[in-house]
Amino acid sequence: MRYKLLISLIFTCSSMAACEDTNNDDNGTIVIVDMAEPDASVDSTDMSKVPDMVSDVDMVDQPLDMTPNDNDDMDMAVDMEVEHDAQPDLDTMPQYQMPTIADHEVLEDINPDPDVVEVNLEARLTSVDIGNGIVLDMMAYNGIVPGPLLQAKQGDRIIVNFTNNLDEPTTIHWHGLRIPDDMDGSPRIQNPVQPGESFTYSFIVPDAGTYWYHPHVNANEQVEKGLYAPIVIHDPADPEVDVERIFMVDDILLDDDDIAPFFQSHMESVHGRNGNTLLINGSSEIPVEAPTNGGLVERWRIINSANARTFSLGIPDTSFKVISSDGGVLPEPYVTDRLQVAVGQRYDVEVLTERNKAHTLTAYIPTLNAQNEVVESTFDIAETTRETTPFDFSTPEPRTWQGPALPEAPATRQETYVLDGYNNAFGQLVWTINGKAHSMEPLSTFTRDEVVEITIQNNQGPEHPFHLHGQFFIITDDGSGQSVPGLKDTVLVPGRSTVKIIAYMSNPGMWMAHCHILEHAELGMMSEIEVLDTMP
């Protein structure tokens, strides 16, 4: 039973050369299918397309002031809060008690200042039991995978006293947080923290929401080996719920009982490293249990921390609403039956638990059946189990979720970024943005608060979750003509498609812009943009 998951996880393959080496992939447990050019034996209609997560809800046309305050104090350089309708005055509030988040170790706040969260964090090599009798040599923050939860309230200063006890350099990137660029973990700015050395990260967190932290050095290996962890920035104005949970969804590539060597197959270069074992909150024993009572309102924060795999998720036969996305609570929640979560992305859902019923977070993954046909397989990855006492017979009352309206400022500038790839003279795959791999020249130079429509054109078959550091954007065209609710920092650009975003360059600095398939980034799909600290 221990490998019951391994037999059928596949990854979809498009039109770049490597699909041919499918059948002699080193790990015989994986079967790869060319989805773009299926052979006659494959009925692609079964699987034709994972439904889009886009709802029918149009984005609300209400103003959102993303303008930074005119405050020259550089310590306050991140004070470009997204105004919240019910923004509390944190100075006059009684001390805020952060909600408890189930089943996650939390970094201890060692600073008595109620508006400062100061924590100690260490990266080190360690053995980790992922369940099913598998113990792996991994890298971990404070010895656990995922690492401990970093939480604070909106507007707090976070101080992380970080020590690198790995045997290689690392940095920490605080994915999604609009903080100063020298605290962002970019190895283009920060000298990586060497083995045995320490670095103090210090920044103010302007935006509430669900985020995560991970390295930005040798990231394809360090993240795969376990260096990833959740961040929750609480908004005291958010409705209270009965239970909050985090699900970090990952897949890991095992070779026997070890983490498989890196870049051993051409497929890993083409599509990124797709795992053969699902890890939910670090456990391979799925579904992971989520004990609860019936009749409760729960907030589930879902984070895709995989190297490459886009997850299609649902909670069958359950009343749930999408309430929050990368950049925080949505102007209007929406109902859907599928959530497409690309690597790096986050979604929060409100789940109403019923009496005497299990509620299951389910992943839908393309697999091959016995007839070698592509089918969609269902993996229950987390399941609520009812606690017997005390038993709550009440009917859950959904909360009222309303985040800030999205910005409505029109774009005053257009840019196009072309994602492409080629085989170099040594037969190695190189991934590029605007024709360049690992470009050290900015793709664009913007001025602070410039509003830019960026067309992201994918010339090849593999998809690219494109991540822009330090800024938020909205997705006006996800490649199928649909818009996507909410503020984002990562957009999935499907194979041979063109996506449009409108980005709000609110945060001055040099910002990494790259594919979040970590192998693609490693092989060149990595660049940056510059935002000058001058008004247009």
Give me the residues that bind Cu ion (CB under 5 A), please. Answer: 464, 515, 517, 520
End-to-end Cα spacing for the chain: 61
Cβ at position 512, least distance to Cu ion in Å:
14
Sort strands 288-292 and 374-386 into parallel, antiparallel or unpaired. Answer: parallel
Cβ at position 248, least distance to Cu ion in Å:
21
Sort strands 173-175 and 157-165 into parallel, antiparallel or unpaired. Answer: unpaired
Closer to Cu ion by CB, 238 or 268: give it.
Answer: 268
Closer to Cu ion by CB, 60 or 430: give it.
Answer: 430
Q: What are the φ/ψ torsions at residue 519 (nearest 5 degrees)?
A: -70, -40
Cβ at position 517, least distance to Cu ion in Å:
4
Cβ at position 316, least distance to Cu ion in Å:
30
Distances (CA, A) of 488 to 46, 324, 364: 30, 10, 23
Kindly state the helix (H) or strand (E) to which residue 223 belongs, with its residue range.
helix 219-224
Cβ at position 525, least distance to Cu ion in Å:
5
Q: Is the dihedral of CA 322, 272, 129, 367 positive or negative?
A: positive
Cβ at position 432, least distance to Cu ion in Å:
11
Closer to Cu ion by CB, 118 or 251: give it.
Answer: 251
Closer to Cu ion by CB, 230 or 495: give it.
Answer: 495
- What is the distance, to the nearest Å, from the Cα of residue 184 to the centroid of all Cα atoms in its chain? 16
Cβ at position 247, least distance to Cu ion in Å:
24
Closer to Cu ion by CB, 267 or 515: give it.
Answer: 515
Tokens 């070779």 correspond to: 255
Cβ at position 522, least distance to Cu ion in Å:
10
Closer to Cu ion by CB, 35 or 515: give it.
Answer: 515
Closer to Cu ion by CB, 384 or 460: give it.
Answer: 460
Cβ at position 467, least distance to Cu ion in Å:
10
Cα separation of 421 and 149, whole Å? Answer: 36
Which segments within 387-443 are labelled E, that is strand?
Answer: 413-423, 429-433
DSSP-derived secondary structure letter, 61: -
Question: Would you say 323 and 299 are in contact if contact means Cβ atoms under 8 Å apart?
Answer: yes
Closer to Cu ion by CB, 187 or 461: give it.
Answer: 461
Distances (CA, A) of 70 to 79, 178, 303, 471: 9, 17, 34, 18
Q: Which residues contact 253 (CB under 8 A, 6 or more apart)?
A: 27, 224, 259, 260, 273, 274, 275, 276, 277
Q: What are the φ/ψ torsions at residue 270 (nearest 5 degrees)?
A: -75, -50
Tokens 């994972």 correspond to: 50
Closer to Cu ion by CB, 130 or 468: give it.
Answer: 468
